[in-house]
Structure formats: structure tokens, C-alpha cells
Amino acid sequence: MTGDKKELASTLPRHDDASKLADQFSDFFEQKVLRIRERFTESDAYVVESETNSHSLSDFEPMTEESVRELVQSMKTKSCDLDPIPTSLLKLCLDDVILSLTCLINQSLTSGEFPTVFKQAILRPLLKKAGLDINDLSNYRPVSNISFASKLCEKAIFTQLNNYLIHFDLYSKFQSA
């Protein structure tokens, strides 16, 4: 094993039934999250005292077709199995779908709800590094692949939230990771 990303991504434990292996990974990752959550209590929360802020972000601004177009064009042309059409094709016919994409994003922004279909992901186990025992599930980390439309909506939300935080100087001076 050379340890390159494609090789690590295609390395899975030995198995006879892919469906059973998928269930084993699903159970393992779910239990891992539950164990982590159990270690924390509300009293573990670290509270930073700060000045009261008179600015509040109560609503997102609707996106224009042009701003959505700029977001789409700025994004990598990666596709996911959840995408109804390849991202490269979507970018080629952007003029024909820009209104629908803009309406979809604005519906999410105005309702304050992230569409359920955007919460779906394809989870792929990735070996943490070459040389680890491929049959030990703890040597894998979950990687989520989400649809292009989901990434687009997330980026629209991030852009507005980030601009708000910068404008009102609300980023913590101790911000990390």
C-alpha cells in the first residue's frame, strides 16, 4: 500500500456480504458518537463572558439569481451519487435552472429550514492511514458525500453568516479549528 487517497478510500475489511459490512460500519460509527456524547454533561460547557451585542441576525437576505450564479461558478465541479444530474452538466445548463436553484435556496433562507433531502449523505468509511489493520473498524473514519444542491445551500448560508460576523466583529478572538 502506498497510502494515496484513492487507495485508502478503496480499502475495506474482508467481507462476504457488502450489506452486512455496511450495517457494521453504520452501527460502529453510531455507537462511537453515542459514547462521545455520554462523556459530556451540560456542566462541561465552557462559557466565555462577552459584551452584550445589540446586533442580531434575525433573517437572511434573499439571494439574487446573479449571486447564486456566482456561488455555483465558484464551486468545484464534483458530483455525488445523490445528484440527479452531474454537476458539470448543471453548470452547462445553469441559465435554464438558475431560477429554480435561487427559489430553492431562498425558500430555505426565509423558512429557516434546511430541506430534509439536503440532509442525506452517502457515508464512506476511509482508512485513517496506510498500514493500519483493515479489519479493525476503529481504524476508519466516516466521510460524508452530500449533493451539490446541499453544498450550494450551505455555502449561501455560510456566506451571509460569515459576512454578518465580520461586519459586526463578532468572531471570537479565541476562535480555533
Among candidate residues 156, 166, 158, the one with its CA nearest the CA of residue 66? 156
In a domain, 55, yes or no: no
Q: Is 176 among the domain residues?
A: no
Q: How many CA atoms lie within 13 A of 82 on its CB side?
A: 15
SS3 125: strand
Indicate the pLDDT class of residue 109, thresholds 50, 70 and 90.
very high
Interatomic CA distance for residues 157 and 151, integer angstroms: 10
| Domains: count for the chain | 1
Q: Residue 28: give the domain boundaries.
A: 5-46+61-167
Q: Is residue 94 included in any domain, yes or no?
A: yes
Measured CA to CA, the distance from residue 77 to residue 110 in angstroms comes to 27
State the pairing for strand pair 122-127/140-145: antiparallel
Please check whether residue 134 lies inside any domain of the structure.
yes
- List, for residues 40-68, the tens digit of each pLDDT value: 876 666 665 656 566 677 788 999 999 99
